[in-house]
Amino acid sequence: MAVLGATGSIGASTLDVIARHPARFRASVLSAHRNVEALVALCVRHRPELAVIADPTLAGILERRLAAAGVRCAIGAGETALVEAAAGALCDTVVAAIVGAAGLRSTLAAARAGKRLLLANKESVVMAGPLLLTALREGGGELIPIDSEHNAIFQCLPATRAPLGRSGVRRLILTASGGPFRGLTRTELAAVTPAQACKHPNWTMGRKISVDSATLMNKGLEVIEAHHLFGAAPETIEVLVHPQSLVHSLVEYADGSLLAQLGNPDMRTAIAHALAWPERIEAGVTPLDLAAAPPLAFETPDLTTFRCLALAFQALRAGGDAPAILNAANEVAVEAFLAGTLPFLGIAEVVEAVLAELPAQAVVDIDTLVERDRTAREAARRLLRGAC
């Protein structure tokens, strides 16, 4: 197994499950963005055949640290090394857990190479959904989502994986916790801090995805992802706020049935399911005690206060590369918010302005898409400079 993004929260959960089944799984490739010390510690424990650092300026440091730790493995650096690792012979399964657009090329490479792709990098689908689906068809591999919501839908869909229209599926319902600011007004949100936004009530996640959860952009990206992963029309995808985070998503059928996947909020459940599918294995997750669980509540999202979710639906309906523009602008805006140079409500304002400035174009190829991503980021940064 290649765990790309091994030092992040998804990577940590994946390696925990792998370590519980040493006779079945082996982490043969590990990668990190810039965290050399964390990557070395993981290499000491898991003894991969290849360690990749995405920042090529850190290759020498990684080599020296691994040698000092007594770890003998090949070393790669840069995006080309990530792409080669994803497509190479050292793995038959790739866990795509790199955060953001940085994971796009390696994810596509794994799909083209026919790997079993366990996908946590939602930006690959959001930015390049049509390209990813084409790569999967050409490579002959399979994709299993490990976002908790999409994995829940995967579990609730018919085992035949027939097109939704022929499976009696009426709606896909993604649940959202509502984040740390559920119920607050725009006035109350005006002065919230990055520390408050990163304090998720139910999940332990990285800073960027925590902010996306607080704005509901994370759920918007998941809506776009569900459209591509499951062939669902935008009007058949809905979002419900579910503060307890025990129902991870639902599928509604034409006969009125609702199938839901429940469990304690722990990413290892979805990861273990994807690792062993179609079998089931121990994940190390405490079973959900329904008798002791709080009452389950559901509510419609506030699209006026949390504009990012509405903007994601807007980009999905626009089609083409609008989701990629949305994602790029959001990444820049969230980075500015975390740096303290943009207020929380400014995130949606920047994204909306960039979407208006750059109308959707057809998704042609990866190079064109990367260029549009760059253009959107430049537009977002120009807007931020003008606001300062």
Residue 167 marked in a binding site: no
For residue 307, the number of C-alpha atoms closer than 13 Å in the C-beta half-sphere is: 14
| CA terminus-to-terminus distance, the chain | 45
- Cα separation, 316 vs 182, whole angstroms: 24
Strands of the sheet with 50-53, listed across from one edge:
74-77, 50-53, 29-32, 2-4, 93-96, 116-119, 142-145
Residue 9 marked in a binding site: yes
Q: Which residues pair with 31 in a beta bridge?
A: 4, 52
- Cα separation, 17 vs 195, whole angstroms: 29
Tokens 């537009």 belong to residue: 379
Residue 327 marked in a binding site: no
- Cα separation, 86 vs 141, whole angstroms: 13
Residue 28 marked in a binding site: no
- Cα separation, 40 vs 71, whole angstroms: 8
Residue 257 marked in a binding site: no
Residue 177 marked in a binding site: yes
Residue 10 marked in a binding site: yes
Residue 151 marked in a binding site: no
Contacts of 272 (CB under 8 A, 6+ apart): 17, 280, 281, 282, 283, 285
Residue 34 marked in a binding site: yes
Q: How many CB atoms lie within 10 A of CB 185?
A: 11
- Cα separation, 166 vs 189, whole angstroms: 44
Residue 147 marked in a binding site: yes
- Cα separation, 378 vs 75, whole angstroms: 33
Residue 213 marked in a binding site: yes
Binding residues for NADPH: 7-10, 34-35, 121, 123, 206
Binding residues for Mn(2+): 147, 149, 222
Binding residues for 1-deoxy-D-xylulose 5-phosphate: 122, 148-149, 177, 200, 213, 218-219, 222
Binding residues: 7-10, 34-35, 121-123, 147-149, 177, 200, 206, 213, 218-219, 222
